[in-house]
Amino acid sequence: MTQAGKPVVTITYCTGCNWLLRAGWMAQELLQTFQDRLGGVTLVPGEMGGIFEIHVDKELIWERKRDGGFPDVKELKTRVRDRIDPGRDLGHLDRSADG
């Protein structure tokens, strides 16, 4: 952890797959939502082979091959929230489609 003990998210993406924009967009979404709770989001160019991993500090919370693709924004924010601030309400993301 850095910045007064705040967790850091690391997104490792495949450079050969051109996933930088996707990783950057996810970083932006996390920083917007958790701006007061994160020490930062780091983008790491990964080796070829389709790598796309998201860690909160050292804990792997998403792996493209293991988890079947890429997380949607709701799933990503929920997984990050559950690690850094479990009691936090994510507003409309926490509400069911039924209302």
- Whether residue 39 lies inside any domain: the answer is yes
Instruction: Count the domains in the chain.
Output: 1
Average pLDDT for the chain: 91
Q: How far is CA 47 from CA 20, 23, 40, 68, 73, in A?
A: 13, 15, 22, 19, 24
What pLDDT was estimated at residue 1? 44
pLDDT score at 39 = 96
Q: Which residues contact 88 (CB under 8 A, 6 or more apart)?
A: 37, 81
Q: What is the pLDDT of residues 62-86, one digit of tens each?
A: 999 999 999 999 999 999 999 999 9
pLDDT score at 31: 97
The pTM assigned to this predicted structure is 0.87
Residue numbers of the domain that contains 13: 9-59
The H-assigned helical ranges of 8-91 are 20-33, 64-67, 73-84
| Rounded CA separation 59/4 (Å) | 19
Question: Within a domain: residue 46?
Answer: yes
Instruction: Look at residue 87 and tell me if it is in a domain.
Output: no
Q: Give the C-alpha separation, 25 to 19, whole Å.
A: 10
Domain assignment of residue 38, yes or no: yes
Smallest CA-to-CA distance from 42 within 6, 18, 72, 17 is with: 6
Q: Could you tell me the CATH number of the domain that includes residue 52?
A: 3.40.30.10
For residue 95, is it within any domain? no
Per-residue pLDDT of the chain (99 residues; tens, 9 = 90+): 456 789 999 999 999 999 999 999 999 999 999 999 999 999 999 987 899 999 999 999 999 999 999 999 999 999 999 999 998 888 866 666 554
